[in-house]
Amino acid sequence: MLDNIYLLIQAPLLNVQILLDGLFVGSIFALAAYGLALVWGVMNVKNLAQGDFVIMGGYTAWLLSTWGIHPIFGLPIAMVLMFGFGWVVYVVIIRRVIDKDMFTSLLATFGLALVIQQLLNLAFGPEVQVAESHFAINSFFDGLVTVANIKFISLLLAAGLAAMVVGFMKFSRMGQAIRATAQDARAAKVMGIDTDRIYAFTFSLNAAICGAAGALISMIWVIQPFFGIGHSIRSFVVVTAAGLGNLPGVIIAGLSLGGAELYSGFVFGAELQQFSVVALLVIVLAVRQVQQRRHRQAVK
Amino acid sequence: MSIAQQKILLYAVILVLGIGGPLIFPNYTFQISVLWVMILFALTWDILGGQMGYNSLGNIFFFGVGMYTCALVQVGLYTDVSVYTSATGGANLRLTPEEYFIGLGLGAFAGAIVASIFAVIFGWVVFGLRGPYFAIGTLGFTLAAGELVGAWEWVGGGGGIALPVYPGPPDERSLLFNFLCFILAVIAFLTVKWMYAGQFGLAANAIRDDEEKAEAMGIHTLRYKTVGWTIAAFFLGISGAIFGNMVGFIEPLEVAFPTVTFGIFMVVMCLLGGKGTLWGPVVGAALFHIFKEVTWTYMLGWQWVALGALIIILVVFFQQGVMGWLQEKWPSRFGITVDENVVAKKSSEAAQ
């Protein structure tokens, strides 16, 4: 461990490499976390299947790439398919748990997460998969820092998608209705908004965002049926650290999570990378709790 | 038969089943032992989950802590732990019966104590969290514990530890552990029954219904929550110690901290039986375990899909569970008086 820290000090360019990689994966974490915050804020549903939606999107892009469709074109297809899937999930499950207590939705989506990861495992096997993009890899500083072109493209795509979603929420008629429902569902209903359709659309939009995030993950990182829970926890870390309805916070938290995760993976070794994500969750919750306790409040 | 007589009959049947079960069906001794452990899981989960409304997804953490503490004590009493674990999961340690039972007893005791201490420490951190944050926080530290133990070479890392070999014939061994599990489950049941009957039960239900009001009424909520969790952790610690010895080989992710198997089973069993009732966890655990053992082997990889689907169906359509459903159907059998006015008012509210 100390050797690794020493290495980082000796070769400062290694830091650049890790930070850049953290930035690229962090942007995708932020995207998935934004979807989670959307569903959480509008419908008060804590979606523990968030990460599994991401992995589903990843497998869609990967499957299409094995059929000869480039994963970048697979991304919109994954979004459309996941949108439809989200709608089905809403109608079958989420609609029935939405007005029950919060643990119900958490547990129902946990059951959904189990079903998705096991079905993916049965369909594609437990191997780690990558959707090959066949793009060039650039080297900087005499080959000490290498960045694949696809990572730049994925960062741009993630930023573009996030901008599109934010613009949609702000300016479109549907986005306005979603925001109105989030503020006061009852009042929105009185104003003639079909809240049930808004909920269905919000949940499906989240699934589509996850699908896009998954397609990006499959291009620049790896996917595997059981990686979903890790992505769910990452989304929860980001949302818990940033708070709801705080878009700059989500972006900053997502990027820092990416950096922190890759740094700890480098320093402590790869087998503790997963641990560091979960440990971050516990730390974030503990810090939030101490902050709230000062005001004699609980983290709700 | 009066209700009191029926109760005595019920306890007598359970006692006969508990003692006679493994003698009549010697091939199923291990399954019966696991059934008692499952009942204990459900009972201890329900202390917080059902009675207090603190739905933990990480209670299995204490099970793993107890298991590892016990294993380390058992091995550490007679040999060097790091040498033992480094030899590919442990060379077989041969002990005399006396040494073995002293190790097991001390180990189980230490496991229970260490698990309780962890419960107090973690309780201080997580009891400021409510609802989903509590569930995710507890899930988080259990996952973290599994990963951490898996990377800890001194205790064998991901390879795990083989426990000392039982000094006696295998039949005797399985019977012994079966009775230990049975006795532990009975003690756990009597303990929670006694707890729910007194002040603790009232305070716990008050916390579940409205924590702020309960606190305003002068109930020291943090203390009650910590006590409830510590008692759950105590029993889970002992059960982990016994279970580890019963299986004979422990490793972090599948046996000691099995978050997505046992950790979820305990929640599912409580939901199935009806959470917040005394008998619900027992009924749910029995039903779930029997259902699982009968169907699991025929599903060829689909069993986890079935488990997920079962969770969804239970949560969405059958939230009150078996006992809750029975209570709704025949309230007078459970000593519950129903105020018709309240029911009418509630149903008219629901209609609006």
DSSP code for B257: S
Instruction: Establish if B121 touches chain A: CB-CB under 8 angstroms.
Output: no
Q: Give the model confidence (pLDDT) of A76-107 as tens digits.
A: 999 999 999 999 999 999 988 888 777 788 88
Q: Of A119, A217, A101, whose CA–CA distance to B303 is shortest? A: A119
Q: Give the model confidence (pLDDT) of B216-242 as tens digits.
A: 888 898 899 999 999 999 999 999 999
**What pTM was computed for the model?**
0.86
Note whether A36 and B136 are within 8 A (CB). Answer: no
Instruction: Establish if B131 touches chain A: CB-CB under 8 angstroms.
Output: yes
φ/ψ of A138, rounded to 5, equals: -90, 140
By percentage, how much of chain A surpasses pLDDT 70? Answer: 97
Of A6-10, A64-68, A275-279, least confident by mean pLDDT is A6-10
CA distance A270 to chain B (A): 10
| Residue of higher predicted confidence among A289 and B41 | B41
Is A300 close to B144, i.e. CB distance below 8 A? no
Coil, strand or helix at B59: coil
Domain locations in chain A as residue ranges: 2-124+136-294
Is B128 close to A107, i.e. CB distance below 8 A? no
Residue A102 with chain B: CB contacts under 8 Å: 131-132
Q: Give the model confidence (pLDDT) of A40-73 as tens digits.
A: 888 888 888 999 999 999 999 999 999 888 888 8
| CATH class of residue range A2-124+136-294 | mainly alpha
Is A282 close to B140, i.e. CB distance below 8 A? yes
A178 sits in the region (left: phi over 0; alpha: psi -120 to 50; else beta) called alpha
pLDDT at A134 over 80: no
Integer angstrom CA distances of residue B238 from A92, B65, B207: 41, 10, 27
What average pLDDT does the segment A16-36 reach? 90
Residues in chain B, pLDDT under 50: 89
pLDDT at A300 over 80: no
What is the per-residue pLDDT for B351?
55
Instruction: Establish if A267 touches chain B: CB-CB under 8 angstroms.
Output: no
What is the per-residue pLDDT for B9?
86
